[in-house]
Amino acid sequence: MRRLHLLLVTLAIAFVVAASPAARAQEAATEPANVPRLRALDFTPFESALATFKPETAAAIDALLQGGSIPTLQAAMRAGLTSEDVTLYFLARIRKYDDRLRSYLELNPNALTEARAADRLRAAGKVLGPLHGVPVNLKDNIATAGPMHTTAGAELLLDNVAPADAALVRRLRAAGAVILGKANLSEFAGVIANGPLIGGTSAVGGRTVNPHGNLPTGGSSSGSAVSTAALLTMVSVGTETSGSLLAPASWNGVVGMKPSKGVVSGEGIVPLIRNNDSAGPVARTVIDAAILLDGMDERKTDYAAGLRSNALDGVTVGMLNPSVVALEGNGTMMQQAAAVLAAAGAKMRPAALVDDPDWAKAGPFTAYIGAGIRFDLVPYVATLKPMITTPEDLLAYNAAEPKTRMPFGSEILVSLAAQSKAMTDAEFRTMGTRLAKAAAKTLDAIFAKTGAEVLVSLENLHSTYYATAGYPAITVPLGLRQGGGYAAAVGLASKGMPSGITLIGKPGQDARLLSYAYAFEQASNLRVAPKLP
């Protein structure tokens, strides 16, 4: 049971103080009530343009994008479609659907200005790359210069305006992307409260809602996944510390990738555990994820050019079945994944995860998260709000006005803060180094024993290992569940809930991993679009 706990403890599934299955089932029998936004989405800068946006134009873009990708969109823009119209299409959908879905915290008031600038450049014969004129949103722990705010979902930072864009945002702008707005998230990357449907809750924006139904959303990159799945953006940037990008991507039926450590700059991202933190792409297709990663990474790699539909042919894959099928219902999903892999020509080998001895010696992973709050997150917050110097200060601040500052409670922060209270900064750094080395040795041992080039998991079940080791991982839609999985284990509905196969690669082999994911996607075509009213 302790092994299962370690495998599932993530910032998306923070069940260190989870309610009982019976309590959760009763709580989520109907869609839980939401809380008011602390800042309403402001459509004022777009009202006149939206008023004249033609329904037939919206319908044409909808037909193009429902099953389309960034290359599809670029072809249409070469033929005369404007970035302004595409941006208006997304803004109209946000206005229609996001009061319920809560995938956005804020819109970029300059979005149309940026789109029109992209159109002028295109008209002058200058296209900056495959992201030129493409609307993108950003998880709101990624800094953007004013007028937008960077809140990490916390009331404490409601009026925080970063002095400059994060490094990855500067790269996206240089690639011609249009910044559509800031996406909701589990507050401070998932260390405040779980919420009624596992993740996706913040004081600033309320609870993100899975567009596939009254189902868990996951976090902390909930808004990135929901907005992408619901076609409220073309692509999104999320962040991962331990499962916090792959869980919501898989549970909302989209592609999500955590790149190798260092591939995307962490400059300007609100930290949780700097050793683990990594920004990554969220998209509806693997090719879009590849294009977005190329636009924001620190390397000159054309990931999309390397995608091959036959990339899995003859490749040995390690199936991490024993630790995946421990949860009822996961076996069915892995059987489905195995059938696709076999059809794609992969050679499957059984793979069992055996911890390196130093993993347990390093200390509990939950204590590591708690120490990240104390020694990475809070010192960053203190540079913005000097009265907050400890997790206990943050708890006290929120408790002073609980309805607005902690509307979903703070059970996770209470638990994790207590686990790190006796630790020192030096002990935390040592623990991080030991865990990273042990996680890498654990994964390397599986690769070596099986001869595998890639490991196959489900959703975010092995995130504590690949995220801590800094290895790349990507999730690709695997269709809808008939039941089971983590949600069912804690008393929530899971029938009709998306799931995703997760491929774990070797460090630095991000391009190869994307190609494997593309081959799986092309052989399966299992993404299911949500049916919105």
| β-bridge mates for residue 237, sequence order | 138, 281
CA 236 to chain centre: 9
- What does each C-alpha distance from 360 to 425, 448, 467, 470 come to in angstroms? 20, 21, 17, 18
Per the annotation, the verdict on 220 as an active-site residue is: yes
Per the annotation, the verdict on 244 as an active-site residue is: yes
- What does each C-alpha distance from 37 to 101, 204, 229 come to in angstroms? 12, 6, 21
Alpha helical stretches, state H, 165-231: 167-174, 187-190, 222-229
Q: Which of 83, 103, 139, 261 is catalytic?
A: 139
The dihedrals phi and psi of 319, each to the nearest 5 degrees, come to -90, 110
Nearest-CA neighbor of 235 among 42, 77, 113, 90? Answer: 90
500: three-class secondary structure by DSSP? strand
**For residues 88 and 43, what is the distance between their CA atoms, to the nearest angstrom?**
11
- What does each C-alpha distance from 357 to 365, 435, 437, 439, 451 come to in angstroms? 14, 11, 11, 10, 22
439: three-class secondary structure by DSSP? helix
Pairing status of strand 347-350 against strand 316-319? parallel
Nearest-CA neighbor of 530 among 155, 252, 144, 162? Answer: 252
Q: Which of 69, 186, 202, 244 is catalytic?
A: 244
Count the neighbouring beta carbons within 10 Å of the beta carbon of residue 29: 11
Q: What is the DSSP letter of 45?
A: G
Rg (CA), the chain: 21
Amino acid at 515: S
Question: Tokens at residue 317, please?
Answer: 């894959």
Q: What is the DSSP letter of 107?
A: E
The residue count for the chain: 533
* CA within 13 Å, CB half, 81: 24
- What does each C-alpha distance from 399 to 8, 195, 260, 408, 413 come to in angstroms? 29, 17, 38, 12, 12
| β-bridge mates for residue 328, sequence order | none
**For residues 435 and 147, what is the distance between their CA atoms, to the nearest angstrom?**
39
**Terminal CA-CA length for the chain:** 41
Instruction: Return all residues near 48 (Cβ < 8 A) that are at least 6 apart.
Output: none
Q: Which of 186, 202, 220, 494 is catalytic?
A: 220
Instruction: Return all residues near 65 (Cβ < 8 A) that are at least 6 apart.
Output: 72, 73, 89, 231, 234
Catalytic residue annotation: 139, 220, 244
